[in-house]
């Protein structure tokens, strides 16, 4: 299927019997949905980054629990809950940084413990609710964040925090979409190495909505800021600590440092399900390390090679570098000065 001729940007589609996952590794050249009937398949889809973005990962995990119950539940199987909980533990290990994963699994796990004559139906309703609530939250955050951009000349975003990373509409891109309706036109996206989510996903997703954008090399960000063309950097988040520190795609921290130097503001857009209230600061956030082969040329993959690679997927931006954290419950301005995000509780 030719990506240029399609506007299908849903990362996840639930059919009632299967979870369809848009394989984001092959975008924008190909739009391909993979079909999953069990939790093991969805776990692998998360690990392999077919599905990515903290909210989308949480939603996929919720549907995976439903698939697990469909596989194991039977009036004649007294161990079905233990079998589902084993699948939940596998899902927990799929991505360590995205807190939405653990949030969604906890909701589904608690619901499963409630005695119910129709566990499949009730858990399916709950997974659908998690999905729809995320879409609604994205639209709310889009409107709230856009209010901060009314006088913005231009913005830059990093990685992909749009409909592909969420239930729909997007977090950072949700704000940009809403601001575009108000007249924002200068939109820049960093390529976001090593997986190129900005180059492959963000600019493509915006183009599907008829929104023009400009792609830049990651290393051009400082020069772009110095030019005065942008006055906001807008990103999503994979985990937010109670003090307002934010874990997001690797490179977010460096953009925030550059923004501070050049007088550019930083906006983080994420639903409250991304906040880890038990985590005091970003220093406690586990940063996922992926395989060196994602960075290395094939000639360096020989076991005798002297070349290795360090491949952290996320970094942590301290709250003092963040101008605003936008959630569906409201905006926290200057989180380092107002006791983090605790005002949202």
Q: In whole angstroms, what separates CA 93 from the centre of its chain?
A: 17
Of 159, 158, 214, 215, the residue nearest 184 (C-alpha)? 214
Amino acid 8: pLDDT: 45
Amino acid 76: pLDDT: 87
Whole-number Cα distances in Å, 114 to 66, 72, 111, 122, 268: 15, 17, 5, 10, 36
Q: What is the DSSP string of 262-296?
A: HT-EEEEE--GGGEETT--SGGGPPPPB--GGGTS
Amino acid 330: pLDDT: 98
Q: Which of 87, 134, 231, 238 is catalytic?
A: 238
What residues of the chain score a pLDDT lower than 50? 1-8
Token pair in block for residue 151:
């006088």
Amino acid 58: pLDDT: 98
Cα three-residue angle 294-298-304, rounded to 5 degrees: 105
* Domains (range + CATH), the chain: 3-136 (1.20.120.420), 143-344 (3.40.50.10470)
Amino acid 156: pLDDT: 98
Amino acid 237: pLDDT: 98
Q: Give residue for tokens 């380092």.
A: 336
Of 132, 126, 119, 141, the residue nearest 344 (C-alpha)? 141
The yes-or-no answer on residue 276 being catalytic is: no
Q: How far apart are CA 49 and CA 23, in angstroms?
A: 8
């Amino acid at each position: 299927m030719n990506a240029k001729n399609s506007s299908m940007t849903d990362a996840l589609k639930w059919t009632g019997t299967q979870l369809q996952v848009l394989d984001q590794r092959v975008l924008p050249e190909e739009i391909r949905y993979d079909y999953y009937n069990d939790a093991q398949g969805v776990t692998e889809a998360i690990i392999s980054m077919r599905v990515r973005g903290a909210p989308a990962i949480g939603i996929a995990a919720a549907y995976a629990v439903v698939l697990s119950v469909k596989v194991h539940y039977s009036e004649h199987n007294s161990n079905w809950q233990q079998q589902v909980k084993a699948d939940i533990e596998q899902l927990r290990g799929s991505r360590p940084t995205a807190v939405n994963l653990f949030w969604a699994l906890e909701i589904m796990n608690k619901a499963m413990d409630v005695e119910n004559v129709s566990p499949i139906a009730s858990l399916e309703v709950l997974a659908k609710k998690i999905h729809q609530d995320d879409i609604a939250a994205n639209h709310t955050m889009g409107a709230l964040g856009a209010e901060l951009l009314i006088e913005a000349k231009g913005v830059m975003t990093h990685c992909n925090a749009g409909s592909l990373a969420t239930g729909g509409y997007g977090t950072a891109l949700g704000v940009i979409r809403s601001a575009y309706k108000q007249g924002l036109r200068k939109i820049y996206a960093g390529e976001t190495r090593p997986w190129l989510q900005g180059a492959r996903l963000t600019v493509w997703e915006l183009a599907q909505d008829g929104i023009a954008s400009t792609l830049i090399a990651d290393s051009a960000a400082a020069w772009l800021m110095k030019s005065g063309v942008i006055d906001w950097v807008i990103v999503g988040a994979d985990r937010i600590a109670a003090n307002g520190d934010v874990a997001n795609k690797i490179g977010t921290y460096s953009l925030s440092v550059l923004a501070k130097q050049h007088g550019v503001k930083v906006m983080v857009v994420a639903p409250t399900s991304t906040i880890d209230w038990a985590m005091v600061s970003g220093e406690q956030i586990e940063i996922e390390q992926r395989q060196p082969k994602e960075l290395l040329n094939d000639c360096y993959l020989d076991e005798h090679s002297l070349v290795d690679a360090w491949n952290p997927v996320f970094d942590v931006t301290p709250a003092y570098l963040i101008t605003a954290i936008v959630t569906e419950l409201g905006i926290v301005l200057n989180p380092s000065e107002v006791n983090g995000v605790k005002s949202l509780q």
